[in-house]
Each structure stands twice: as C-alpha cells, then as structure tokens.
Amino acid sequence: MTEHNCLYCDFDEYDVIAKNDFGVIIAEPHPLSKGHSVIVPLRHIASFFEISDKERKAMMSLLEQARNELQLRHQPAGFHVGFNDGEVFKSKSEHLHIHIIPRYENQTLKLDQRWGIED
C-alpha cells in the first residue's frame, strides 16, 4: 500500500522487528549507530500531533518494545529518541517516524542533515 513511493509505506516485511495494529519497528536504512531503528505508523500521516490516541499509544508501546529489544541485543549505554514534525530544516517529513538511536560508551553521535546538521 505505497503512498507516493513512500519509504515508510513500502517497507519490506523482512525488515520488521516488531509490529502491532497501528505501527511497526524497522531498522533505519541509514543508521547512525548499531541498532538504530524507527517506529512508523502504518497509516501514511506526517504529524505526530495528527495521529489518533490509539495510534499514539501504539507508537509509544512500540518505542518501549524497541528499547527493550535493543537493550537485549546490543546493551547500549543509553538512547537518543527523536523525530521531526512539520517543515523543518528545509525539508518536510512526509511520513511520521520516531528514531531510537542506541548510544554507546566512548562513541560520539554524529547527527546529519536529517537533523539540520551541516558539515
């Protein structure tokens, strides 16, 4: 069910880490650290502030599940969690996705243009 050739609508089922009725956890195609994943609503929607209460609860449940999975698989020291909403950094996110980026001891996190950082 692809909407406008959307990367997050057209994910490969093979890449699904976990799923519920309203969303999925998939590996980030361009990871910033080992285990970097995204939580994506199944419905094509751009804003966190426009999702339904059920979708919001499902997304938060998947975020917690992603954290637990990443703790088991990679034992990171912590996490960076974030998402862009609306037109920021001269680009507009067409499909809401929440990043969960594992943080490791003695490893700096280098954010990129997705976060408004320029080299």
pLDDT digits (tens, 9 = 90+) for 45-83: 989 999 999 999 999 999 999 999 999 999 999 999 998
For the chain, the domains span 13-113
Residue 1 has pLDDT above 50, yes or no: no
Annotate 88-115 with b (16+ C-beta within 10 A) or e (fewer). eeeeebbbbbbbbbbeeeeeeeeeeeee
- Superfamily classification of domain 13-113: HIT-like (3.30.428.10)
What average pLDDT is seen over the chain? 87
Annotate 33-70 with b (16+ C-beta within 10 A) or e (fewer). bebbbbbbbbbbbbebeebeeebeebbeebbebbbebb
Rounded to an integer, the average pLDDT of 83-105 is 81
Residue 31 has pLDDT above 70, yes or no: yes
